Structure 1
């Protein structure tokens, strides 16, 4: 079956080998996957070209047949349920082409033509992409005419709308794929088509058996899962998720120092509940933080790096405060001389210890960006995480998209850990943060936990 987007120039098309016994609701899912739409709008099938005016035959104008999803049936008594009809019943050598409309506002019309029939073995895939050209247009760009205008504007740096549309394209396409109108990854499409018909293998596992990335993927809107999965693959999550002992010791140095300083006997706080001044000075000196700090660095409430380190260690489950003393948790007592173990403990903790699910999701998306290692500017990290949170359904209480400052607030604790580990080296997000291999390994370890 050849699928072409009507009016596209150069043509956007797909050649599919598809099981004719599929009901039309499944054909819709195949088309969304094969063309590359996000399945965020309504759709219908019809056996008549919407752009051609029907002619009377013997004084009678044949009414076109239209197949729709169940939620649209109530709008028109003459429509047919797509769940009750198969592709083989509608698209035959005698029938002529079938037409699929997606997004009734933009009006993307797809022409479906039968090109032949071949015998297939019992284990053949229900749908497979054989060939094609060019990616799907961007959603909500105004139909095929709007898409052509968009491409013309993007190709003209001198156009008054060039920069504005560049920003719109970047946000609409999202952080998981670069917008390239010529790109079509046939292997990736076929992988998604396989998953479409074997969903139970990834989304119907028992409770608690999903990895963190599988759980995130399954919560994405169906139309975005393929893009997210492709980005997961590009992030190299199957790469190394461990470090050598000397690297682990260097990365965990602040937490290692604090836990050893608390020690097996614990550490008494002042009457006001702060670390003793001598310990604060010791921390700033031993961790080489004093050179960058203005002040005496002897009061914890006025020495932010030490205060944040202590609070971070408590959130991560390394230490606890009991009756005016800091004590090690039982797990930490086993890690005082095991930097590699502490490194893995921190990776698990950063993935699982959060006050709210929104913070957890933001952290997972940030760790994915770190594993991918493609970004350097903190603003770009925030934008990528904001897009992912929106895809997962997070918004403000008024339903608005999350702004960068809101995302920053969700990531403040996670960012502190990453700064302490040396994965990020710019506390204020003013300079570039180049992610090195150990930082990527830490992110992978956290996402695998």
Structure 2
């Protein structure tokens, strides 16, 4: 058996709010959790990001700004989630658009030996396009693409480049991306 957590990740400031439930091994790093969130939401990993857990921030520290006090996400393990069942923490992606995600620790459990983790469990609603301009820009984007008489309708459709359905999360692609992250985990010793 291996220690794992079930997390519900909800994108703030949108109505309806896109959310995902994933399971992750507690042996993985916060950097690996970032990768799993990118896969769950089909983000493209173009931008900076960080986690806020309690009073600590984790991400990719800048060498030229030692006062930021950002801890390396690549070495911080998820083992601390063992004591956080029922609690939450924040993940911010793209400091320009400022996509804030609330991560709720739904459960901490022992996954079966050989479980392929991380894994996508469920979710609803599509993630906004990259660089759409944050929650306000996304709202304007949805207005424009849903109204053929909107002055920016054609421009927004051309900018995005394909059909956009805010209800469809494209589970098949999410599962494909998770398949590239998942590893069969041996029994813990």
Question: What TM-score, normalized to structure 2?
Answer: 0.84
List alignment gaps of at least 5 residues for structure 2. Answer: 1-6, 184-189
In terms of fraction of residues, the more strand-rich structure is 2
Residues 73, 91 of structure 1: alpha-carbon distance in 2 compared, 3 angstrom cutoff: farther
Name whichever structure is richer in helix by fraction.
1
Q: Which aligned runs of 4 or more in structure 1 are off by greater than 4 angstroms?
A: none
Distance change >3 Å, CA 80–CA 90, structure 1 → 2: farther
Q: Please name the residue that 1:19 is paired with.
A: 25
CA–CA distance in structure 2, aligned partners of residues 20 and 117 of structure 1 = 9
1:73–1:79 Cα contact (<8 Å) kept: no
> How far apart, in 2, do the equivalents of 1:193 and 1:134 lie?
18
**Given the superposition, is the C-alpha separation of residues 187 and 158 from structure 1 closer, same or farther in structure 2, using an over 3 Å criterion?**
closer
Asked if 2 retains the 8 angstrom alpha-carbon contact of 1:44 and 1:69, the reply is: yes
The change in CA–CA distance for 1:142 and 1:14 in structure 2 (over 3 A counts) is same
- SS state at 1:148 partner: helix
1:185 to 161, 166, 170: 170
The equivalent position to 2:181 in structure 1, one of 171, 191, 196, is 196
For residues 15 and 100 of structure 2, the distance between their equivalents in structure 1, rounded to whole angstroms, comes to 14
User: Which is bigger in relative contact order (C-alpha 8 A, separation at least 6)?
Assistant: 2
SS of the counterpart of 2:139?
A: helix
1:37 aligns with 2:22: no
C-alpha RMSD of matched pairs (Å): 2.0
Q: Paired residue for 1:166?
A: 157
**Aligned to 1:109, what secondary structure does the other structure show?**
strand
Conserved 8 A contact 2:81-2:108: no
Q: In 1, Cα distance between the equivalents of 2:108 and 2:60? A: 27
Mind listing any 5+ residue stretches in structure 1 that lack a counterpart?
49-63, 199-449
1:91/1:98 contact within 8 Å kept:
no
Cα offsets for 1:191-246 (capped at 9, x unmatched): 32121246xxxxxxxxxxxxxxxxxxxxxxxxxxxxxxxxxxxxxxxxxxxxxxxx
In the alignment, the residues of structure 1 paired with residue 83 and residue 94 of structure 2 have an alpha-carbon distance, to the nearest angstrom, of 26
- The Cα of 1:119 is off from its aligned counterpart by 2.1
2:131 to 140, 157, 167: 140
Count of aligned pairs: 176
> Offset of 1:183 from its aligned partner?
1.2
* Bigger radius of gyration: 1
TM-score by length of 1: 0.37
Contact kept, 8 Å, 1:12 with 1:134, in 2: the verdict is: yes
Query: Matched residues in 2 for 1:81 and 1:8: separation?
Result: 29
1:75 to 41, 65, 70: 65
Supply the distance in 2 between the matched residues of 1:74 and 1:96 (Cα, whole angstroms): 33
